[in-house]
């Protein structure tokens, strides 16, 4: 059984740092009984937290890694400004690079899940000398579109339109609804077995009140997620879905010269066979952009780090050794 950390675990520290003018909260942990072999930075997605890596942190410490897991912009005790420019991939990459500089890190492993996967791909392109290895869970690498295409014309990403709007942020307010929301996001269903989320629709807000307990969170973990989101609400986290055009405009410098492959460092991509939001089929054809790509597909849904933590950790162990 995989050992997980708790929010008040003595093996971790909750730290704060000012990165390019904004406060970030992050988990910091170092192995106590072994030499530090490297550092790994873990980047979460939506609607997760740094705590979403709880099944990996102790495991990585046991391998001799220093572990850093930030709450990204809009999450937890990290600042949640209204301005969308703070939520772009470029801003996230620059903030992570500043964090690395403050911690005197000149080379490290970078891992990401969901939105975090999209961030770490771009970080590896913007700051390749800092990244010794790259690990991405669920998120395929998608090359930039030559011409901007709005989300309204991409039916597979219909849920993003809902999240980019105001419906969800206006509805999911307060402790009760946040608890219902996270229960559904992490595996809870209605008495009829209906899920809260569908990639072809988004959040079924009319199902919130009948959602049962989460399958992937303990009661104390659920309380921690709710408490973390009560601080700033859900709006800041949804701003990540409102930056599509900004990200397109900013990525020109990264992809101005497309020279295959784009990634020289070793990369591990873990796809999840039952992930409805980002199915493995979306990764078809991405291999050409990598000089040294290791692919793994595991039998799990979107929340692979929790649902199938043992297999995820084993994949990481083999890749990081």
CATH of domain 13-320: 3.40.50.1820
Predicted confidence at residue 153, as pLDDT, reads: 74
For residue 114, give the nearest of 54, 72, 169, 155 by alpha carbon. Answer: 72
Contact in structure between 196 and 211 (CB atoms under 8 Å): yes
Contact in structure between 36 and 28 (CB atoms under 8 Å): no
Phi/psi for 195 (5° steps) reads: -80, 160
CA angle 241, 143, 96 (to 5 degrees): 60
Predicted confidence at residue 41, as pLDDT, reads: 99
Mean pLDDT by 10 residues, the chain (321 residues): 95 98 99 93 99 98 98 99 98 99 98 98 96 98 78 78 96 98 98 95 96 98 99 98 92 63 95 93 93 97 97 98 91
Predicted confidence at residue 253, as pLDDT, reads: 60
CA–CA distance, 107 with 134 (Å, rounded to integer): 11
**Which tokens go with 5?**
């950390």
Q: Which residues are catalytic?
A: 114, 302
CA–CA distance, 89 with 26 (Å, rounded to integer): 18
pTM: 0.96
Predicted confidence at residue 255, as pLDDT, reads: 64
Contact in structure between 30 and 5 (CB atoms under 8 Å): no
Predicted confidence at residue 150, as pLDDT, reads: 80
Strands 197-198 and 202-203, how do they pair? Answer: antiparallel
Distances from the Cα of 288 to the Cαs of 50, 202, 238, 251, 278, in angstroms?
Answer: 31, 32, 32, 19, 19
Write down the domain spans for the chain: 13-320
């Amino acid at each position: 059984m995989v050992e997980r950390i708790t929010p008040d675990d003595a093996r971790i520290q909750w730290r704060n740092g000012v990165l390019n003018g904004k406060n970030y909260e992050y988990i910091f942990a170092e192995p106590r009984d072994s030499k530090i072999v490297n550092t790994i930075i873990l980047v979460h997605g939506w609607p997760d937290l740094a705590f979403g890596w709880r099944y990996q942190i102790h495991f990585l410490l046991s391998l001799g890694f220093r572990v850093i897991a930030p709450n990204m912009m809009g999450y937890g005790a990290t600042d949640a400004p209204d301005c969308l420019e703070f939520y772009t991939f470029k801003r996230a990459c620059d903030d992570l690079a500043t964090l690395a500089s403050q911690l005197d890190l000149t080379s490290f492993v970078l891992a990401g899940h969901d939105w975090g996967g999209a961030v770490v791909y771009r970080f590896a392109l913007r700051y390749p000398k800092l990244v010794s290895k790259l690990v991405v869970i669920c998120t395929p690498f998608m090359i930039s579109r030559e011409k901007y295409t709005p989300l309204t014309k991409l039916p597979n990403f219909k849920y993003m339109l809902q999240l980019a709007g105001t419906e969800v942020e206006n509805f999911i307010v307060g402790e009760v609804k946040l608890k219902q929301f996270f229960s559904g996001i992490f595996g809870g269903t209605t008495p009829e077995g209906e899920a809260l989320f569908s990639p072809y629709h988004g959040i079924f807000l009319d199902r919130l009140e009948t959602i049962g307990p989460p399958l992937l969170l303990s009661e104390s973990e659920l309380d921690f997620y709710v408490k973390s989101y009560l601080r700033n609400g859900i709006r800041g986290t949804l701003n990540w879905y409102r930056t599509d055009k900004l990200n397109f405009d900013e990525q020109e410098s990264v992809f101005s010269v497309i020279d295959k492959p784009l990634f020289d460092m070793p990369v591990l991509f873990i796809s999840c066979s039952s992930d409805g939001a980002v199915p493995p089929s979306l990764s078809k054809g991405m291999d050409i952009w990598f000089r040294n790509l290791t692919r793994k597909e595991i039998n799990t849904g979107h929340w692979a780090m929790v649902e199938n933590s043992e297999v995820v950790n084993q994949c990481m162990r083999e890749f990081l050794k």
